[in-house]
Amino acid sequence: MTLEVFPVIHINEVSQVLAQAEHCYESGADGIYLIDHNSRSDPTFLVQTYNEVDDHYPGRFIGLNFLQLTSGYSAFSFIYNALQKGRIQRQPDSIWEDDARPRRYELMNLREDHPELALIRYLGGVAFKYTSTYTDHPGLATTEAKRLAPVVDVVTTSGKGTGHPPSPEKIKVMKNAIGSKKLAVASGISADNIASYSGLFDQLLVSTSIEVVPYSGIFEPDKLKQLIELAKTI
């Protein structure tokens, strides 16, 4: 199993995102995700920033996390409308939502009706931090993973909060439960603990452990390179 690494860039301004994206791609990251903690009610700036990054790095993997939208269905609908109106130049490579449960069956129907949306990788949170069904209990997490795996492309989980890793046992049983479907971890993995998860999951979404200051959107180049190198060798 080859572990893919996707640094998550917290957006402050476009120039900052472009600089950090360059660091990520040059360091061997498999792609990046963009997230906007500042524009709480409006995802427009996230999409505008995405367009800028895509212009500068055509063909590179770029995913989006819509904090402003409450379900995968809402996020995919937003992207569909933006594509129809020419507000986004190409569909993003991935959409990540923290909770895979809301309106999940509507999302399945939407993607079936519009094949271009099925090409967008969907990361849906399962037993995920800050949701009502977060758990680090292996048995409960396994039940959630089995239930929601059919509606996502990548089952995505986390520890109890930002910067907190999930237990290796939770990750192991979730991966076993979903079989060939990919599993992503989106909190708490660092150069110090990544070896404890060797072979247990498929994708790493990371920011806090490689940032100069949490939520700064600025990566420490040496930490970024070190983590990517370790991920590719465990």
Between CA 208 and CA 216 the distance in angstroms is: 9
Task: Report how far residue 150's alpha carbon sits from residue 131's, in angstroms, rounded to the nearest whole number.
Answer: 19
Average pLDDT, the chain: 96
- How many domains would you assign to the chain? 1
pTM above 0.85, yes or no: yes
Q: Is it the case that residue 1 has pLDDT exceeding 70? A: no
Residue 40 has pLDDT above 90, yes or no: no
- Residue 38 or 54, more confident: 54
Distant-in-sequence, close-in-space partners of 208: CB < 8 Å, separation ≥ 6: 162, 163, 187, 188, 214
28-39 b/e (C-beta count within 10 Å ≥ 16 → b): ebbbbbbbbeee
pLDDT, tens only, 121-150? 999 999 999 999 999 999 999 999 999 999
Could you tell me the pLDDT band of residue 234, with boundaries at 50, 70 and 90?
A: confident
Per-residue pLDDT for 41 more than 80?
A: no
pLDDT (average), residues 24-52: 93
- What pLDDT, in 10s, does the model give residues 152-164? 999 999 999 999 9
Q: What are the pLDDT digits (tens) for 54-106?
A: 999 999 999 999 999 999 999 999 999 999 999 998 999 999 999 999 999 99
Q: What is the CATH number of the domain that holds 188?
A: 3.20.20.70
Domain carrying residue 190? 4-231
Residue 119: its pLDDT value, please? 97
- The C-alpha atoms of residue 118 and residue 230 are separated, in whole angstroms, by 32
Q: What is the DSSP letter of 81?
A: H
pLDDT greater than 80 at residue 31: yes
Over range 168-195, report the average pLDDT.
Answer: 97
Contacts of 132 (CB under 8 A, 6+ apart): none
DSSP bridge partners of 204: 5, 185
